[in-house]
Chain A
Amino acid sequence: MAATSMGTRRPHRDVRQWLTAAAFLAPAMIGFAVFYFRPTVLGFYNSFTDKELLRPESDWVGLENYREMISDDVFWNALWVTGYYVLVNIGVQTICAIGIAWVLDRLSGSRVMRTLVMTPYLMSNVVVALLFLWILDFRLGVMNAFLDTIGLNPQPWLSSKEWAIPSIALINVWRHMGYTALLLFAGLQTIPKDVKEAALIDGCGEIQRFIRVTLPLLRPVLAVVLVITIIGSFQIFDTVDVTTEGGPVNASRVIYLYIFDQAFARRNFGYASAMSVALFLILAVVTIVQMRLLRANESDLA
């Protein structure tokens, strides 16, 4: 496209401009080639080899890694655990975020409130994980002390099989719900005021109006936000690594953690690569299915 418009120009001027462009692009494109493009190609390639950490040579093994993956119970467990995490995390987070977006909308986007709900998201996963490691501590944590005062049984939140994943999921709901709400709020701003007010004249209550009129109009934004948050949610690592390290046994061994274990603790780089290819494909499928299901490209306003 650019080439045709340049056809009428004198060639040496074009070449000079290309050289200028190359100079502008060079640093960033070197970074792209070395740290994005090369490892992507190599990641696929390694998944067909018996590559090991600390061993320079490797052999082509075809689909061996993929065969091993299909019969690996820990891999399927990791997928299951990750899926469970995503379900709890995204389910609760989306509902909370919609509620917060409504609050922000009613406050006409008060800057103080927007900054406040964004704050947890700006804290590192490690800091957030440590805050909740303390709050959820079995013996000394304030959560169990609180449950005790209202007459409920204390739970070993992060050290029990049943609660490990829901606890981690809710920790990350705390970190991400405000941020997700801000994304939704940005979408709310694009809905014309007269559409909302038309519903008011029709006699809807305020909450009803939000659920029946505003939310359906928000669907395209919601679809995009869901795709972003679900993809992020699948890649849970930091919080698990800091709080449970995958335990008890494999109860919270999410897929990222298992890939990491295989690559660095057991040095099976080829096998770890095959699993990251699988994760990549899963995320691609999730994205496509979701965009289809939520018909993201159609807006009811159009």
Chain B
Amino acid sequence: MTAITSRLDRAETAATAVTSSRRRRRRRRHVKPSDLFFWSLVAVLLILTLFPFYWSLRTALSTNASLPANSTGLLPANFTLSGFERALGLASTEEAIAAGGSGAQIDFIKALRNSFIVSTMVTIGQVLCCAMAAYAFARLRFPFRNQLFFIVLTALMIPPIFTLLPNFLWVQDRGWLNTYLGIASPKLLMTPFAIFFLRQFFLNIPREIEEAASIDGAGRFRTFFKIIVPMSASPIVTLAVLTFIEQWNDYLWPKLVGQDESVRVLTTSLGNFRSQTPQGTPDWAGLMAATWVSALPILLLLLLAGKRLVNSIQFSGIK
């Protein structure tokens, strides 16, 4: 049957070679096996991607006591907001313990604030310094420019743990352990990726614009901040969003240098969770609420800048 239809199709295609594929698809009424395969793949993909998010939300809105008896229901078991209240520190210690939380809970609000401080520091510092450096590599003339740029790029090949060990000693020697500066420092001034990313855009700005500015008597710094930066607002914002998310999600370095509660960021606090409850049953509802709260800023950024993030993917590839 399919052999016959496909032969008919072929005859039809040969007869009307110019017919657009869309018109042909509309004329054909039967469902092709590849359509079936396609839509089942879409369904599986949607379920696979969304289910873990949904499941943690469902757990966050349940009570710990009712989770064992109801481990598969799609709706929250015994709906409550107390998981979120515990995660945000709105519940009193007694309430938290009664609901299955640990008495010594993490100060989640403080961790949220610390993550914001560190990520904002890194985003502003890195984007500003890398934009200036990228402009120099793209436009200014100086000796060994291309060699220097090549050396910066080769740093992309070095595994982070390689530089992490000596960096730790350096930060320790400066007395920067358990400070915001210590957590932010390795990426505060530059990453090779950021310079590479912005240089690509600066290279495409027509030279005539800068020449016009220099005839008007503007120096390089004025030209850069008054003309180049506003013109490149879009890639700069994209880089800022990428940098913020990456810093927000960073785990290993903050774990090493920022264990003190006064500077501890979200990832480190959440990561400590398992070692804090080695034997007893963890406060799953509270934990899932906490992961949702910590993912929320990223989900918001995704809503606001999803298009930029998706479009930046060709560049992220070289990371």
Contacts and interface: CB of A to CB of B under 8 A. Distances in A.
A278 B49 CA distance: 36
Contact of B37 (A140, A207, A273): A207
A25 interface: yes
Interface stretch (B79-87, B101-109, B125-133, B203-211): B125-133
A299 interface: no
Given A31-B129, A272-B165, A186 B72 contact: no
A44 to B, nearest CB: 9
Contacts of B68: 139-140
Contact of A132 (B49, B52, B59, B161): B52
B52 A2 contact: no
Contacts of B145: 2, 21
Given A120-B49, A134-B287, A203-B6, A43 B166 contact: yes
Contact of A130 (B146, B255, B287): B287
Contacts of A10: none
B152 A203 contact: no
Given A118-B309, A186-B313, A276 B38 contact: no
A245 interface: yes
A212 B56 CA distance: 40
B165 A201 contact: no
A260 interface: yes
Nearest to A149: B72
Given A31-B129, A207-B37, A238-B252, A17 B188 contact: no
Contact of A34 (B32, B169, B170): B170
A205 B189 contact: no
Interface stretch (A62-70, A73-81, A108-116): A108-116
Could you say which interface size class chain A belongs to?
A: 35 or more
Contacts of B275: 245
Interface in A257-294: 259-260, 263-264, 269, 272-273, 276-277, 279-280, 283-284, 287
A201 B13 contact: yes
B192 A36 contact: yes
Interface residues of B, number: 102
B49 A119 contact: yes
Contacts of A18: 142-143
User: Counting chain B CB atoms within 10 Å of each CB, which of A37, A132, A140 scores highest?
Assistant: A140
The A interface, classified by DSSP as helix, strand, loop or mixed, is helix
A1 interface: yes
B55 A133 contact: no
Contacts of A252: none
Interface of B: 6, 9-10, 13-14, 17, 21, 32, 34, 37-38, 41-42, 45-46, 48-50, 52-53, 55-56, 59, 67-68, 71-72, 128-130, 132-133, 135-136, 140-143, 145-146, 151-152, 155, 157-170, 185-190, 192, 195, 219-221, 224, 245, 248-252, 255-256, 267, 270-271, 273-275, 284, 287-288, 291, 294-295, 298-299, 301-302, 306-307, 309-310, 313-314, 317-319
16 contacts: A2-B145, A24-B132, A24-B220, A28-B195, A43-B165, A43-B166, A103-B38, A119-B299, A125-B267, A127-B291, A131-B53, A142-B71, A186-B314, A205-B34, A279-B162, A280-B159
Interface of A: 1-3, 5-6, 14, 17-18, 20-25, 27-32, 34-40, 42-43, 46, 53, 99-100, 102-103, 106-107, 111, 114-120, 122-128, 130-135, 137, 139-142, 145-146, 149, 174, 178-179, 182-183, 186, 197, 200-201, 203, 205-207, 224-225, 228, 231, 234-235, 237-238, 241-243, 245, 256, 259-260, 263-264, 269, 272-273, 276-277, 279-280, 283-284, 287
Which A-B residue pairs are the 9 nearest by beta carbons?
Answer: A31-B189, A124-B249, A28-B133, A39-B166, A39-B163, A24-B136, A27-B129, A21-B142, A28-B190
